[in-house]
Amino acid sequence: MAVLDSCRGTIFKVCLLYTDRSPEAIEDLFQEIACNLWVGYGKFDHKCSVNTWVYKVATRTALMQKRYALKQPTFVSISKSMYEEVADTGKDERISYLYELLDMLSVEDKALIDMYLEGIPQKEIALQLGLNELAVNKRISRIKEKLKKKNNGE
């Protein structure tokens, strides 16, 4: 599936954010996202970019898996080189530390700040999360403050 190949970095980033970053957990979530992309592609209306749609499906899948601990059969395999290429956060301590800070956030706050860091406009974030733009703006400010406090050891 060409969409899967072209957006695998986005999918891996979501997998890294919503798992404990073990290869098994990443593979499980990646495969669940791949299945949902396959099933949902016929409903994709092309009102946004393919990458935005993939990101939306991946995030929703991760949130659903997190909430309901879904375990479904998997069919897509991830090679070790693919995992090492995208998921090796151990080499950069700043990235590892960022993930540690993000792990302290709630699932909903992770989704919101991840979309914000990805550069998705607040209007789109609001639509995806079912919030209004003002609420998104306020939550982003609160999350930034929370992360600053945790970074400063408070």
pLDDT band for position 27 (cuts 50, 70, 90): very high
How do the domains of the chain map onto residue ranges? 1-88, 89-154
Give the dihedral sign, CA 36/71/78/16. positive
**Rounded mean pLDDT of 12-22?**
91
CB atoms within 10 A of CB 73: 7
Exposed, middle or buried by CB within 10 Å (0-12, 13-18, 19+), for 93? exposed
- Is the pTM for the entire model greater than 0.75? no
Which is nearest to 27 in space by CA: 86, 83, 95? 83
Joined tokens for residue 117: 């860091």
- Quick: pLDDT tens for 110-134: 889 888 988 889 998 888 888 899 9
Class of domain 89-154: mainly alpha
